[in-house]
């Protein structure tokens, strides 16, 4: 830990026992996806794998036009540069690190319009990812609809603890945005998991398949970007899809500058084939259920032991409430980062911080942003670990929790300018 600056992003993977750093690019591909890797058409232009991919994305998400990118942030970059102008405001249901940075680098200001319940880890609202329409409307009235290029809507809101958006909320959001002529773009990265919660919790959806619900949800939005490394069960890949042909024209032109030709966007042909197959596998109802229920299995073990976590348990990860666990530490002693380090030291289980370090600094004042949520994330890769691994993780968290009163915080001794959580270094406070 000392060598890695108390930052689990700086560990070598060979020094990790159970790796819950992220569910991004860490899922296991199926036999069918691996077979697809053998069918790579590596032509520079017009690869047949691209057309399979385009068709799969269109089939399941329903948008008209498709642009491949190397991963999610490549798509965020293109969309932000294409539609945000300096002075614009971009409302969203809680920030995400790379998404907000791209919005800011294009000259926009992110404004959080998620419902208040999302900022309270103990609140049991079933759809804590919902947009607060009153907050959004008052922003529109304050800055004017012309200064809002789009609403940045995310499914299974990562920074809120993997919390879903309801169908009723996206439908109402569409109505509001139509009144003001504002577009809605969806971060569809974990939308399949969001759909599972709609199927489970929202009236009228229990008998509809994940695939059907997914398409209905997307129909209320104008386009989406995707980090395919999550829901889509591949190690690398992403895309962007929109309904507007002029915007598509711009994006398809920009992709050749930053990603690669518009028929590969930074991916190899074989990767596009595995991704096309992964999209179809990702909406399999039994798969989504077992994935989300494995996360819930771990969450329930911790709840039963009285360990504070974000509830309801989210779709892709269990989030430990470091503020409550280390209530004796101030937020600038990095309680969630401290918890990450302690769990690794106990058992070799790797997690990551989603609190003050991830939130970064306010671009105007230069001070830390102090998010209400100070969380340690245990993200579970898909189709990789067994329930027995979850038992080991739960016991590690319990051991660290039991020793919480003796734990001291950390000081940041190296801070990179952008997305500091990836590379920052810390030392224990003595
Ligand atoms: C919600 C969300 N959006 C966007 C991204 C960015 O995607 P990528 O890591 O593929 O660049 C991620 C992953 O880190 C994410 O979790």
pLDDT tens digit sequence for 339-395: 999 999 999 999 999 999 999 999 889 999 999 999 999 999 999 999 999 999 999
Asked whether 233 and 281 are in contact (CB, 8 A), the reply is yes
pTM over cut 0.95 = yes
What is the C-alpha to C-alpha distance for residues 74 and 253, in angstroms, rounded to an integer? Answer: 14
Helix (H) or strand (E) holding 152: strand 150-154
Mean pLDDT in residue range 85-112? 97
Q: Pairing relation of β-strands 375-379 and 317-321?
A: antiparallel
pLDDT reading at 146 higher than 90: yes
Average pLDDT over the chain, rounded to whole? 98
Tens digits of residue pLDDT in 21-78? 999 999 999 999 999 999 999 999 999 999 999 999 999 999 999 999 999 999 999 9
Q: Answer yes or no: 141 catalytic.
A: no
158 lines ligand 1 (CB under 6 A): yes
Is position 197 annotated as part of the catalytic site? Answer: no
Distance CA 110, CA 103 (A): 7
> Ligand 1 in contact with 98 (CB < 6 A)?
yes
Residue-wise pLDDT tens digits, 403-425? 999 999 999 999 999 999 999 99
| Ligand 1, atom nearest to 156 Cα | 1
44 carries an active-site annotation: yes
Q: ∠ at Cα 100 (374, 143), nearest 5°?
A: 110
- 230 included as an active-site residue: yes
Q: Which of 354, 382, 404, 420 is catalytic?
A: 354
Residue 221 annotated as catalytic? no
State how far the Cα of 324 lies from the Cα of 304, in Å rounded to an integer.
16
Alpha-helix residue ranges (DSSP H) falling in 311-386: 322-325, 335-347, 356-359
For residues 282, 283, 289 and 295, what is the CA-based torsion angle, rounded to 10 degrees?
40
pLDDT at 184: 98
Compute the average pLDDT of residues 76-91: 98
What's the confidence (pLDDT) of residue 363? 85
By the 8 A CB rule, do 195 and 210 touch?
yes
Atom of ligand 1 nearest to the CA of 238: 10
- Report whether residue 229 contacts ligand 1, using a CB cutoff of 6 Å: yes
Pick the residue whose CA is nearest to atom 4 on ligand 1: 72
Beta bridge partners of 242: 65, 223
| Ligand 1 centroid distance, CA of 55 (Å) | 23
Rounded average pLDDT over 108-132: 98
The reply to whether 187 belongs to the active site is: yes
Rounded CA gap, 11 and 385, in Å?
A: 20
What Å distances lie between residue 134 and 113, 115, 140, 160, 421, CA to CA? Answer: 9, 9, 10, 19, 32
The answer to whether 410 and 337 have CB atoms below 8 angstroms apart is: yes
Tell me the sheet residues that pair with 353. Answer: 376
Q: Identify whether 97 is a catalytic site residue.
A: yes
| Closest approach atom of ligand 1 to CA 98 | 6
Q: Residue 225 belongs to what H/E stretch?
A: strand 223-227
| pLDDT above 90 for 273 | yes
Q: How many CA atoms lie within 13 A of 141 on its CB side?
A: 7
Q: CA dihedral defined by 232, 384, 235, 317, rounded to 10 degrees?
A: 70
238 lines ligand 1 (CB under 6 A): yes
Q: Which of 281, 381, 389 is nearest to 26 (CA)?
A: 381
Mutate to test the pocket of ligand 1, among 21, 24, 78, 319 (most ligand atoms within 8 A of CB): 24
pLDDT category, 221, cuts 50, 70, 90? very high
């Amino acid at each position: 830990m000392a060598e890695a600056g108390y930052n689990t992003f700086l560990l070598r993977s060979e020094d990790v026992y159970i790796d819950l750093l992220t569910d991004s690019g860490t899922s296991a591909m199926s036999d069918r996806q691996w077979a697809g890797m053998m069918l790579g058409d590596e032509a520079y232009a017009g690869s047949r794998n691209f057309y399979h991919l385009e068709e799969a994305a269109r089939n399941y998400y329903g948008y008209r036009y498709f642009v491949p990118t190397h991963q999610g942030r490549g798509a965020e970059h293109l969309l932000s540069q294409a539609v945000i102008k300096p002075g614009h405001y971009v409302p969203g249901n809680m920030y995400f690190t790379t998404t907000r940075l791209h919005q800011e680098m294009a000259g926009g200001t992110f404004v959080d319009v998620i419902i208040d319940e999302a900022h309270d880890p103990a609140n049991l609202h079933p759809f804590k990812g919902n947009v607060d329409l009153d907050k959004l409307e008052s922003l529109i009235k304050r800055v004017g609809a012309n200064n809002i290029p789009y609403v940045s809507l995310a499914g299974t809101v990562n920074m809120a603890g993997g919390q879903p958006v309801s169908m009723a909320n996206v439908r109402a959001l569409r109505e509001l945005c139509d009144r003001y002529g504002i577009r809605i773009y969806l971060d569809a990265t974990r939308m399949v998991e969001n759909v599972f919660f709609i199927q489970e919790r929202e009236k009228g959806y229990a008998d509809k398949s994940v695939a059907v619900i997914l398409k209905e949800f997307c129909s209320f939005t104008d386009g989406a970007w995707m980090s395919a490394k999550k829901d889509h069960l591949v190690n690398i890949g992403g895309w962007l899809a929109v309904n507007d042909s002029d915007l598509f024209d711009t994006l398809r032109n920009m992709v050749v500058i930053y990603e690669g030709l518009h028929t590969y966007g930074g991916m190899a042909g074989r990767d596009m084939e595995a991704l096309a197959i992964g999209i179809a596998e990702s909406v399999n109802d039994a798969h989504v259920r077992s994935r989300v229920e494995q996360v819930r299995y771990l969450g329930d073990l911790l709840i039963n032991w009285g360990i504070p976590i974000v509830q309801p348990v989210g779709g892709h990860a269990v989030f430990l409430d470091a503020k409550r666990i280390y209530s004796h530490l101030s937020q600038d002693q990095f309680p969630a980062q401290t918890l990450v380090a302690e769990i690794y030291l106990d058992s070799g289980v790797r997690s990551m911080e989603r609190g003050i370090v991830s939130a970064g600094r306010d671009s105007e004042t230069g001070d830390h942003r102090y998010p209400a949520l100070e969380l340690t994330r245990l993200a579970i890769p898909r189709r990789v670990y067994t329930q027995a691994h979850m038992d080991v993780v739960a016991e590690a968290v319990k051991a660290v929790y039991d020793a919480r009163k003796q734990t001291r915080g950390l000081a940041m001794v190296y801070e990179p300018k952008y997305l500091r959580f990836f590379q920052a270094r810390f030392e224990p406070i003595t």
